[in-house]
Amino acid sequence: MDGMHAANGGVGDMGENAGERYRALAYDTALSTLAAIFVYVVVKVSLDGIRQWRARISVLIVGSGPVGLTAALVAVRSGKVLKLTVLDERYRTALLCRPQQIALDPRSVKFLLGLGVDFDNMEGCWHNEHFFTRIGVFQEYLLSILEQKKQKVEVKVQLGTKFTEEYLRRIPHNHWPRVIVVADGSCGDSCSVLGISSDYTVESCHAYGANAAIERLDQRQVPTPEIRAHSLYFDLSAYGVEALREHRNPASKPGFHLKIYGTFRNRYMALVCPASETKMVRFLRHTANSSIMKNIFHQSFNAYKTDIEPRLSDVTRHHMQCSRRLFEIQLSHRRISAAYIDGDNVAVTVEGEAARVLNFDTGCGVNLGMRGLESMGTFIYRTATAVDQNDILEALSAKMQHSRQVAETIKQTGLVESMYE
């Protein structure tokens, strides 16, 4: 009996020892597995971090207007560009001599300050946190910044070079850009070269407007703050329109908004009113007498011009170019503002007036283009660090979503910011 107990005790000890060894083995295996997983995660994260840190791509920008050159600056500042090429079919003289004035609103100013733009070193003037300068001055300044960036990034500005299918064929396949930014304006045809649809969505801004321009050669090309006037009514009684009664009627719509802008030599005016069916609006929308709008702009300019500039005379009035009548203000924007060229692994985005444009010039068109560039840096970063095609497509999808949001915001608040306030 004692022997049997001893035997059973030996078997029990063996079983306990085996269980302990099993538990120890399982514990060691779990620790080894966790350690392996930890090492794998650390190595993968480190490699991904190194890959993202070292990731650099080639970017081609078509168009060297204010939006195209700003896009070039965004690309350089992203830190993910190895080679940057800027194309424009215009030569430098034609590019920089344009007299138009641009008005950068506070949001655009803040965006450009973040890109390193020093407005203190640019010819122009400030008013109500807006910065006013000539378009050629702005472009020349951005070109000078890009010239300074050549120490860190291979920057090539090719002026007098048109973007065509022949140009693309001359690029060696292994040197194709990873990102193409099309910013060649509303009249450019670069999108067709890339096979991007030219279909636009046209939407009403629920307002009517008219534009006027006059060039006075005896004045200088000096940037000036814009002038705004609100709740304007015009005496059209000579044409059989009694507007005074509508003005006194509390149910009638608010009056017109006027903006005078541009340099002293090249003066521009914009007139706008919310969509309504008042007698005055109906008359000005359908009148066949083109001199009526010219008289309105003539009188408005002389009433609200700056004190230091001369009045418009009856002689200069005849040289004024202006809308024949009020027209509906509309926003046109591309249905497709981003695309992926599969075989060449190229992501394309369309910016500025090539993507969206108002048929109503207020001197603030460049601000519409700047809105689209606010997501450009993130788009370039995501494209440069993409692991596969899905990552690029997700970056393009986010860019298109932002472009649609920009268009929707312009339609809803664009006139409020540029004219009504």
Q: Tokens 């048929």 appear where?
A: 359
Phi-psi region of 289 (alpha: psi -120 to 50; beta: other; left: phi over 0): beta
Q: How far apart are CA 185 and CA 198, in angstroms?
A: 13
**Would you state the pLDDT for residue 17?**
72
The whole-angstrom separation of Cα 355 and Cα 337 is 6
CB 58 within 8 A of CB 82: yes
The pLDDT, as a whole number, for residue 106 is 95
The token duo for 213 is 């321009």
CA distance 316 to 219: 13
pLDDT at 2: 53
Place of tokens 């951005």: 142
For each successive 10 residues of the chain (421 residues), what is the average pLDDT?
52 65 74 71 51 72 96 94 94 85 94 95 93 94 92 91 92 88 92 91 95 90 92 85 56 79 92 91 91 93 92 82 95 93 89 93 88 95 93 95 94 90 84
pTM equals 0.83
Strands 346-350 and 179-182: parallel
Contacts of 225 (CB under 8 A, 6+ apart): 125, 126, 127, 128, 130, 132
| Half-sphere exposure (Cβ direction) of 131: Cα atoms closer than 13 Å | 23
pLDDT for 344 = 80
Amino acid identity, position 404: R
